[in-house]
Amino acid sequence: MVMNEPSRFSILVNTTDQYEDCWEPFFKLFKKYWSQFEGNIYLNTETKQFGTPELKISSIQNKLIHKTWSECLRFALNFIEEEIILYLQDDYFLNDFVHQQKIQFYVDLMVKEKIDCIHLSPYASKGPFYLTQYPNLMKFARNAEYKISLQAALWQKSLLKKYLRVHENAAQFERYGTKRAWRSQEEIYNYFDLLNKTSLIPYYSTGIIKGKWNRVAVKQLFEQNNITVDFTRRGYYEGIGNSKPKITINKIGSRIRSIF
């Protein structure tokens, strides 16, 4: 009997040249905690490159220096060969071993069952969710919070492209993309291991907040893994200055364009 080949997927690490100081710690931790990954890894940079012999990293170098977050991401998606991608960001620093076989199981399930997206992080959304026939997968309710999220997730590339709007930044993509998803019928799920309470891709929700290091996420982790970073260049985020942003005519226009 001929065994079916596992479905291919690649990893997209969405970044920017300004976050170059994240790449070395990111991939050092990646090599430690996901050494069995042999697929393609795409690093969405503007002009710079990064590589390491143990991993198949392609620096996209989109050259879109003055373009929006969405335009840069669209360029990357057009560059990527595989239809199913695992979306990560440059400050999702792994802090434990990744469950490769389980991730492959869900990639194969996406192909077989025509599932559009599986969020793999407990940080993605608080739901509400519905039980499903699939092991450890909960389906988003129609009006669930952050149905569209930029936490770690397996995506059909075509769906991610569908939800992009060229004028949106990352926060707008999550907020208004979720509202657009409320009107659609895509098969979007979230992984939860309620019995063992384990994560398929263990990481802290964000390593950098507003351009500064998140002390809780990185300081001890980097020390334990002999990762040397000059934390003074960015400084640590201390939660100061969270004033409410002003609403301008341009922002109102952007919100209107994001509805559809």
> What residues make up the domain containing 220?
10-258
Asked if the structure places residue 4 within a domain, the reply is no
Compute the CA torsion angle 213, 214, 215, 220 (nearest 10 deg): -90
By the 10 Å C-beta count (0-12 exposed, 13-18 middle, 19+ buried), 90 is classed as buried
What is residue 164's three-state secondary structure?
coil
- pLDDT digits 0-9 by tens, 57-94: 999 999 999 999 999 999 999 999 999 999 999 999 99
pTM for the model stands at: 0.90
Asked if the structure places residue 5 within a domain, the reply is no
Asked if the structure places residue 54 within a domain, the reply is yes
Asked if the structure places residue 252 within a domain, the reply is yes
- pLDDT digits 0-9 by tens, 138-170: 999 999 999 999 999 999 999 999 999 999 999
Asked if the structure places residue 94 within a domain, the reply is yes
Q: Can you list the residues of the chain whose pLDDT is less than 70?
A: 1-4, 195-196, 240-260
Neighbour tally for 253: CB within 10 Å: 11
The pLDDT value given to residue 45: 98
Asked if the structure places residue 53 within a domain, the reply is yes
The pLDDT value given to residue 257: 52
Residue corresponding to tokens 């990352």? 170
| CATH number of the domain bearing residue 146 | 3.90.550
The 10 Å CB-count burial string (b at 16+, else e) for 163-189 is bbbeebeeebbbebbbebbeeeeebbb
The pLDDT value given to residue 2: 41
Asked if the structure places residue 3 within a domain, the reply is no
How remote is the C-alpha of 206 from its chain's centroid? 10
Asked if the structure places residue 18 within a domain, the reply is yes
Total of domains in the chain: 1
The pLDDT value given to residue 5: 78
